[in-house]
Amino acid sequence: MRRYRFVLFRPFQFLPVLFGISIITFVLVRLIPGDPARILLGTRATPTAIANIRAQYGLDEPMWVQYLYFLKNLASGEMGKSTLYKVDTLKLIVTRIEPTLALVVAGVVLALVIAVPFAAISARRQGTAADHAIRIVSTAGIGFPSFWLGAMLIILFAVRLDWLPVSGYGERLGDKLLHLILPGLTIALSLSAVITRSLRAGMIAGLSSDVAVAARARGMPESVVFWRHVVPNALVPTVNLLAVNIGWLIGGTVVVESVFAVPGLGQLMVRGIFSRDYMVVQGVALTFAVATVLINFLADIITVALDPRVEI
Amino acid sequence: MSVQLEIAGLAVAFRDHREERPLLEDVSLSLERGEILGLVGESGSGKSLLCRTIIGLIPSRKLRVTQGSVRLDGDEILGRDMQAVRGRRIGMIFQNPTSHLDPVMTIGRQISEGLRHHKGLDDRTARAEAIALLTQVGFPDPARAVTSYAHQFSGGMRQRAMIAIALACDPEILIADEPTTALDVTVQAQILRLLMELRDRRGLSIILITHDLGVVAQTCDRIAVMRHGKVVEVGEKRALLAAPQHPYTRELIASHPSMPHPEDAVITHPHDRRPIFEIDDLDVSFPVGGGFLTGKREVRALKGVSLRIWPGETVGIVGESGSGKSTLARAMLGLTRVSAGDIAFDGNVLTKDRDKTLKHLRSDAAMVFQDPFNSLNPRLTIGQTLAEVLKTQGETRSDKIPSRIGELLDLVGLDRSFAARRPRSLSGGQCQRAGIARALAVNPRVIIADECVAALDVTIQAQIVDLFRDLTQRTGLTLVFIAHDLAIVRNLCERVIVMHHGEIVEDGPSARVFHQPERRYTAQLIAAIPDINPDRPINCGPPSTQQEYVT
């Protein structure tokens, strides 16, 4: 149990990290050229109207005062009123979090469903045609950008074959799952490429490792050697790789959500940037940061569970 | 006794698209029921490959058996389905228990895995059996060990665990591939005793692979000597050791460090001059772990070490792994931070006047490292490596450098043509000679050699030790020779320092320390050296069964 003690202490380290991230996003958003009040009111707005809006949202205060307001809002569970949507940003984020979360989960699950068997086939039949084919596909998977891949999937499965909906999210669970398949697959194809390569390398090393030799020497059949000794050892580094990639993926949903018109955080972020909605942009950025930190925390817990040697 | 395993005319060859090269040629051997057969040879002699071939685990697809037969109780097993034989009839243990045990599976599950597979036991019975096995191989708390992982144990306990796993399904034959090479000498003695005990209790037949003739002399009934893929000599232990027929066997026996060296002259240097090294109350601690919010722990690698080394002395520092001998060497050369105490080199106090002392140290002291390959730059030829040192030192005129390189190579017994070769094309022994030449290039007054022969074969070890002896006698060099192998130190050094848990437990002339050790620890260490004389058994007494938890 001593090895899990970090679960209690680690969250205290998140505070300074998140504090730093909040400052950086706050400042960066305000460095984007353009004025939210002007964009909100259009090109014909009078200077008085603009000044009113600026005063109403506190945009006329010095930046550090605005930051203190932001902190004060956070403490009372708010993120500041969106200039575009006219509601509190936190409420907006809460309603948009589900599609994004579902998308990421779908992407990761599909990626594992693809990667584990592919890596296993590739590693156990190293050098055969199957291995080469899988390696070519996974190299290609890393190379294709997700907006292109997403568009191709739409053309094939939604337009030509008409099996799946083109875009959107749906209302009921079954409908939602149906809508998640194509965007999830878009994420999974590039993510699984990375995982397949890492797993394959780990498995190949494992198959010729001393652990495998020892297991064979005590008469274990090859399938036991592989699934019980090689795979668990190959999973450890892959978990960390996966954590890094999921962090990157959460930011990447911006693109996939735009392609598939999924009403998630990514889409909210894009709209926020276009209308210089400072509150929304910094709120979503902070949410992404929290998610990334939490995922790495989770990966650490899984690593400790998988590898008894690890102490954090 | 009846023959249990019969190998006849076995040949294994390496074959790729370019060439076919024999690795084992016409190997014929037999193993009798209940005997321990020692398989001796240096690296590359084919002894491990032979054992892998017996159980059908040839390490590469490019190797194949070209002829011969292996019969187990009269039945041919070569080329048959070996899964029912491996583990069930022939068990195997390996040199490095750390890498052969699954790090993410408990010891208990690794034992019960075989029991469930081969014997069809259910989980509970298999677990009970695992506990019984761990008790048998000397785990004092088997119920706890069964749920522990390999990294929680010391090297010796890991090897015991591997033996328990190999014996789980009651094999008749145990193949032990260098089972004690990675272990300290006292632990080696314990494991060897355990193997002999198991042989007696279970009627096990054992093939013991080793490079150390001392180990076979202590444990085996018969010895087979291998070289270049052939068995050059087989015989009963005493007969073979007393009257070796093959010249190679004679060479092996003569190279064994426990053999007295003809020029074992005891030179004692007068201690009236100023010591070259003066070390007082030296403490070195390393911080371990520690992060944000969690406290740091400290490991004290050296605890109040005081030591004088006089010019011209040959001093051996011995101790088991973790005794602090390497830390002491690094501290003497200013390569590690000192927590407390003083080190003075030639009157300059390192801890006070660091820069000046370091300057002296760099030009007057040199180090020879354990791993000869990795301590030489692979991209430079030996000549370039030496030239670099000579240029940096700046005492040799640049037009004299080539001739000085030639002299250095002469000094370490390498042909001058080696100056143009890279480490990759050198053998281990040649690399170590080049490493010594590099150390000599600065014309040092002191050489500190840290385990510099540990990675070498015995005959090469003997050559390097001879080289050091020659150098110290001819040039008046001061040598600090660090080793875990006491027998080598006894042969080479006039004075020996024994370290244990970061402290010096004994310091005195080799002849005195090895014949009448003052401290019990030293006596234990000496008694554990496997002597090549079979009538001088390794230390007897109750098996030490301390279950050490590392964490």
CATH code for the domain in which residue B169 is found: 3.40.50.300
pLDDT category at B209 given cuts 50, 70, 90 is: very high
CATH 1.10.3720.10 spans which residues of chain A?
95-306
On the question of pLDDT at B284 being above 70, the answer is yes
Residue B261: pLDDT over 60: no
What ipTM does this complex have? Answer: 0.78
Are B370 and B245 within one domain?
no
pLDDT bracket for residue B549 (50, 70, 90): very low
Same domain, B249 and B368: no
Q: Do B104 and A307 touch (CB under 8 A)?
A: yes
The minimal CB distance from A220 to the residues B101, B117, B292 is found for B117
In this predicted model, what pLDDT tens digit does every residue of B71-125 receive, in sequence order? 998 888 887 888 888 988 999 998 888 889 999 999 999 999 999 988 888 989 9
Which pLDDT does position B296 carry in this prediction?
62
Task: Tell me the residue range of the domain where B136 lies.
Answer: 34-59+84-255
Do B242 and B326 fall within a single domain? Answer: no
On whether both B205 and B332 belong to a single domain, the answer is no
pTM value is 0.78
Does B294 sit within 8 Å of A218, measured CB to CB? no
Q: B 69-88 residues with CB below 8 A of A? A: 82-88
Cβ(B205)–Cβ(B173) under 8 Å? yes
Domain covering A95-306 assigned CATH 1.10.3720.10 in the classification:
yes
Give the gap in angstroms from C-alpha B551 to the nearest C-alpha of chain A: 10
Task: Give the CA count within 13 Å in the CB-facing half-sphere of B226.
Answer: 30
Alpha helices in chain A (DSSP H): 6-31, 36-41, 47-56, 63-75, 89-124, 129-143, 146-153, 173-207, 210-217, 222-224, 231-260, 265-274, 278-306
Residue B38 belongs to some domain of the structure: yes
A-contacting residues of B 81-120, CB under 8 Å?
Answer: 82-88, 91-92, 94, 96, 99-105, 113-114, 117-118
Chain B interface disruption, residue of A12, A124, A218, A309, most B CBs within 10 A: A218
Using the structure block, give the residue that is written with the tokens 């000549």. B383
How many domains is chain B built from? Answer: 2
Radius of gyration of chain B (CA): 25
Residue B299 lies in a domain: no
Q: Strands across the sheet with B348-349, in order?
A: B297-309, B277-288, B340-345, B348-349
Tell me which range, A142-151, B204-213, B387-396, is most confidently predicted by mean pLDDT.
B204-213
Q: How many CB pairs under 8 A join A and B?
A: 92
- In this prediction, residue B550 has a pLDDT band, given cuts at 50, 70 and 90, of very low
- Check whether residue B318 and residue B251 sit in a common domain: no
Q: How far is CA A25 from CA A90, A283, B54, in A?
A: 16, 9, 66
**What was the pLDDT predicted at A211?**
92
Residue (of B328, B330, B350, B349) closest to B283 by Cα position? B328
Residues B323 and B416 in one domain: yes
B118 to A228: CB separation less than 8 angstroms, yes or no: no
Arithmetic mean of pLDDT, B236-264: 79
Query: What pLDDT is attached to residue B260?
Result: 61
The answer, for B206 touching chain A at a CB cutoff of 8 Å, is no
Burial (0-12, 13-18, 19+ Cβ within 10 Å), B515: exposed
Paired tokens of A13: 């380290």
For the segment B252-256, the average pLDDT, to the nearest whole number, is 82
Same domain as B523, residue B379: yes
Q: Do A217 and B103 make contact, defined as CB atoms within 8 angstroms?
A: no
DSSP β-ladder status, B36-40 and B205-210: parallel
Q: Would you call A289 helix, strand, or coil by DSSP?
A: helix
Identify whether residues B241 and B324 lie together within a single domain: no
Residues contacting A5, CB < 8 A, separation 6+:
none
pLDDT number for residue A199: 92
Q: Identify whether residues B466 and B330 lie together within a single domain.
A: yes
Is the same domain home to B333 and B471?
Answer: yes
The mean predicted confidence, pLDDT, of chain B is 85
Lowest mean pLDDT among A10-14, B110-114, B127-131, B225-229: A10-14
pLDDT tens string for chain A (312 positions)? 678 888 888 888 888 888 888 888 888 888 877 777 777 777 777 888 888 888 877 777 888 888 888 888 888 877 777 777 878 888 888 888 888 888 888 889 999 999 999 999 999 988 889 899 988 888 887 788 888 888 888 888 877 887 877 777 877 887 888 888 888 888 888 888 889 989 999 999 999 899 999 999 998 999 999 999 999 999 888 888 888 888 888 877 888 888 888 888 888 888 888 888 888 888 888 888 888 888 889 988 998 888 888 877
| Window from B223-227, B269-273, B417-421, B491-495 with minimum mean pLDDT | B269-273
- In this prediction, residues B344-352 reach a mean pLDDT of 84
B289 contacts in chain A (CB < 8 Å): 311
Q: Show residues of chain A in contact with B56, CB under 8 Å.
A: none
Q: Is B115 helix (H, G, I), strand (E, B) or coil?
A: helix
Tell me, rounded to whole angstroms, the distance of Cα A240 from its chain centroid: 14
Look up residue B27 and give its amino acid. Answer: V
Q: Is the domain of B449 the same as that of B333?
A: yes
Quote the pLDDT of residue B269: 59
